[in-house]
Amino acid sequence: MHGAEPGDTTADNGATSAHPSPTYIALLFDEPTSPRITLVDLADDATELARTQVPLDALSAAVHARESADKPRWVWDDTARRYPPLLADGVHVERCHDLRLAHTILRHARASSSSDLAQAPPNPWDDLPAGPPPEPEPSLFDLPSAAPPRPQLDILGELRRQLRAVATSESPARLRLLIAAESSGALVAAEMHDDGMPWDAVVHDQLLTSALGPQAPGGGRPARLDALAQQVSDALDQPQLNPDSGPHLLAALRRAGINVESTARWELRGIDHPVIAPLLEYKKLYRLYTANGWAWLAQWVSGGRFRPEYVVAGVVTGRWATSGGGALQLPASLRGAVRADEGWRLVVADAAQLEPRCLAAMSGDESMARAGRGADLYQGVVDAGIVETREQAKYAMLGAIYGATTGASAGLMPRLERAYPRAVALVEAAARAGERGERVSTWLGRTSPPPGASWVASHDSASGEGAAAEEVREARRRARDRGRFTRNFVVQGTAAEWALCWMASLRLRLRALPGRPHLVYFLHDEVMVHAPAELAEEVVRAVNEAAAEAGHLLFGSFPVDFPLNVAVCDSYDEAK
C-alpha cells in the first residue's frame, strides 16, 4: 500500500541502533500508579528486543522520535484511548495494531475459531470499552467518586495470542489485512476528530433560519414549525394537539378517520387528507430542528470545526457508527455549511455501486464485473439486455443483496440469476446458511454473530414433535429474517473492508504530499479530503489510485473496477 500494504507486518527502514530495528513497539501503561510508560521493541513474531522507560509527560516526544527513526507498528490496547493525547501534542503515527479491535475480529472469526484466543473463557478483552473512561458524575449529596478502574491488560500476551491466531487460521493473509485495515481506520477516526470537518456556523444559522424561521427565544419552536403545528391542529380539529407526541398524534389521526398503524412518514404518504401535507413537512423540519438545529450547532461546532465521535466497527458488519454528533446522518439541507477554509478546497469522492461490485468480485462473476467495467454498473446491466431500464437494474441488484421477496425486485430476480449465476448463488448460499442458524463471513473474515436466544428457542419449539402451526410459521419467519441479514452481511461487510483499505491507502498517500491535505469525513462509501487549493488535483489522483489499490488488495487481479465520482468544491453541497 503505497510502499506498505495495510496487512504488511514487516519493517525495512534502514534505522541503525544497538539492537535490530523493531517491527512493533508496544506501549505498556501501568495505570494509574506509575508515572512512567514502558516502550517494548518487538520483532515480527513479537519476540522482545529491548525495553525503554519514559516519563508519562515525555511519551509524545519519545513516540515522535521512534516514529521518525523506525516507522514501527505501534501496539496498544485501544487507539481511541491512546492516540488522541499524542495528536493533541502534534504527534502522528503511520501504523498501529489495535488490540481491542483485533481481539473482537479474532474472537469471533470462523477462520480462527480453533485458536487459543477464540477458545479462551471470557476475559477483560471481550468487553473492553473504547476510548477514555467516562468522567464520574457526583450526586447532589455524595462526594465525587472515582471512575471504575480499567482492568489491567496483558498487552504483550494478547499480541502474541493474536499473532498465533492469525498464523494458524484458515486464511492468515486475509485476517492480517483485515486487522491492519481496521487498525488504520481507528487512526483515521481519531485524526478526523482531531482535525475536525470545516464548518461555517454562520452559514448553518442562515440555513436553519431559512428553513425554520428565526431561532425562538427561550428554546421554543421557531415560527415555521409553529405555523405548521397550527395547520395540523386545525386540519384535525384538535386545538390542544401536540404533534411531537406520537401517541397523541396517532390518536388524533384515527379520530379523523385516518386508520394508520403508526405516524411514520412512509405510512402517511399517499393518504388523501388535508392534514398530510403540513404534517409531513412538520415532521421533516422538526427532525432538522431537533437533530441538527441551534442546540446541535452550539454543542458540536466550535472554532470553525465539527468534531464527531466515530465508532470504528460500530456495526456488526464492520461499518462505522458515531457515538455523538450524528456525522453519518447529516441532512442534505445543511451540506452548504461544510465549507473549505480560505485557500483550501474539499475533494469529495464516493464509490459508485460499491456493494454490487464487491459481490461480483467475491463470487468471481466475470459477467457481472464486465457490466460495471469503468462505467455505471446498472446501465451495464441494461446494455447487456438483462432488463429494460436502469431503475429495474437497480431494483434487481439491491433485491439480490437485501433479499427482496415481493414487488419489482423479486419479479426481476430470475433474469438476474440467469445472467449472473455466480453472484446470485453466493448471496443465496449466505441466506440459506443464515436460515439454518449458521454464521457467515466477509471476504476478509469478519464473521456474523450467532443467532440469538429467541431465534434458537423458536427453532427448537418448531422442530419438536407436535409443534403448533403458529410455532412453525414463527420459526420460518425468523429464519427468513436471519437469512436476509446473513445475505446482506457478506456483501455489506466486504464493502466495508474495501472502504477501510481505500482510506488506509489514501491516508498514506496524503501523508506523502506537502501542505498536509487530510481526511475530514467518511460515510460508508464516501470520503472527504480538506486540501490546499493548489494540491486539489494531486489529491484527486491519490483518491483514485487508492481506490484501485483497495480493489487489488482485496481481490487481486480479478477484473473488477471501482470507479469514483469525484468533485473538487468549496462547499459540500456543490459535490452533490
The CATH number linked to 367 is: 1.10.150
Q: Are residues 419 and 487 in the same domain?
A: yes
- Residues 61 and 188 grouped into a single domain: yes
pLDDT value at residue 135 = 54
What does the DSSP 8-state code read for residue 199? B
Three-state SS annotation for 461-485: HHHCCCCCHHHHHHHHHHHHHHHHH
Q: Cα–Cα distances in Å, from 53 out to 30, 155, 552?
A: 11, 16, 41
Q: In what order do the strands lie in the sheet with 73-76?
A: 48-55, 36-42, 24-29, 73-76, 95-98
Burial of 480 per CB tally in 10 Å (0-12, 13-18, 19+): middle
Burial class (CB in 10 A: 0-12, 13-18, 19+), 2: middle
Asked if the structure places residue 10 within a domain, the reply is no
First-to-last C-alpha distance (Å) of the chain: 30
Range of the domain at 214: 202-297
Residue 133 lies in a domain: yes
Domain membership flag for residue 132: yes
10 vs 51: CA distance, rounded Å: 20
Q: Are 323 and 311 in contact (CB under 8 A)?
A: yes
Over its length of 576 residues, how does the chain's per-residue pLDDT go in tens digits?
444 455 443 333 333 345 678 999 999 987 556 689 999 999 999 999 999 999 999 999 999 999 999 999 999 999 999 999 999 999 999 999 999 999 999 999 999 999 999 999 999 999 998 887 665 544 444 454 555 566 689 999 999 999 999 999 999 999 999 999 999 999 999 999 999 999 999 999 999 999 999 998 887 899 999 999 999 999 999 999 999 999 999 999 999 999 989 999 889 988 999 999 999 999 999 999 999 999 999 999 999 999 999 999 999 999 999 998 999 999 999 999 999 999 999 999 999 999 999 999 999 999 999 999 978 999 999 999 999 999 999 988 988 888 876 677 777 888 999 999 999 999 999 999 999 999 999 999 999 999 999 999 888 888 877 788 898 899 999 999 999 999 999 999 999 999 999 999 999 999 999 999 999 999 999 999 999 999 999 999 999 999 999 999 999 999 999 999 999 999 999 997
Q: Which three cell numbers stand for residue 43?
A: 520483532
3-state SS, 68-101, equals HHHCCEEEECCHHHHHHHHHHCCCCCCEEEEHHH
Same domain, 319 and 422: no
Q: Rounded to the nearest 10 degrees, what angle do helices 421-435 and 354-363 cross at?
A: 90
Closest CA to 325 of 295, 345, 348: 295
Q: Are strands 197-198 and 95-98 parallel, antiparallel or unpaired?
A: unpaired
Q: What is the pLDDT of residue 12?
A: 37
In this structure, the answer to whether residues 326 and 462 fall within a common structural domain is no
Is residue 182 within 8 A of residue 500, CB to CB? The reply is yes
Can you tell me which residue has the cell 415481493?
406
- Judge whether 16 lies within some domain: no
Q: What is the pLDDT of residue 358?
A: 97
Q: What is the CATH number of the domain that holds 323?
A: 3.30.70.370
Q: Are residues 412 and 282 in the same domain?
A: no
pLDDT the model gives residue 101: 98
The conformation of residue 219, written as its DSSP 8-state character, comes to: G
Q: How far apart are CA 448 and CA 436, in angstroms?
A: 13
Say if 8 falls within a structural domain.
Answer: no
Of 492, 507, 536, the position where a domain reaches its end is: 492
Residues 452 and 384 in one domain: yes
Among residues 435, 469, 492, the one where a domain terminates is 492
Identify whether 6 is part of a domain. no
DSSP letter string, 520-554: EEEETTEEEEEEEGGGHHHHHHHHHHHHHHHHHHH
Strands (E), 196-337: 197-198, 301-302, 305-306, 309-311, 321-324
Question: Which candidate, 553, 359, 441, places its Cα nearest to that of 106?
Answer: 441
One-letter amino acid at 445 equals G
Q: 18 in a domain, yes or no?
A: no
All cell numbers assigned to 47: 519476540
Assess whether 233 and 132 both reside in one domain: no
Which run of H or of E encompasses 353? none
Looking at the structure, tell me whether residues 375 and 484 fall in a common domain.
Answer: yes
**Sheet architecture: strand order including 564-569:** 518-523, 526-532, 344-351, 564-569
Encoded amino acid at 390, one letter: R
Radius of gyration in angstroms for the set of CA atoms belonging to the chain, rounded to a whole number: 26
Q: Is residue 242 part of a domain?
A: yes
Alpha carbon distance 111, 166 (integer Å): 9
Residues 336, 191, single domain; the answer is no
C-beta atoms surrounding 228 within 10 Å: 23
366 grid coordinates = 466475470
Total domains, the chain: 4
Tell me how far CA of residue 249 lies from CA of 246, 252, 282, in angstroms: 5, 5, 12
The residue type found at 574 is E
60 and 30 in a common domain: yes
For residue 13, the model assigns a pLDDT of 37
Examine the domain organization and report whether 361 and 463 are in the same domain.
Answer: yes
The kind and range of the H/E element at 187 are: helix 172-195
The whole-angstrom separation of Cα 457 and Cα 330 is 40
Specify the pLDDT at position 34. 65
The pLDDT assigned to 148 comes to 56
Residues 183 and 44 placed together within one structural domain of the fold = yes
**What gap in Å lies between CA 268 and CA 272, rounded to an integer?**
9
What is the rounded distance in angstroms from the CA atom of residue 11 to the CA atom of residue 442? 28
Q: Any long-range contacts for 85-90 (C-beta under 8 Å, 24+ apart)?
A: 85/59, 85/60, 86/59, 86/60, 87/190, 87/191, 87/194, 88/194, 89/60, 90/60
Of 472, 492, 512, the one marking the end of a domain is 492
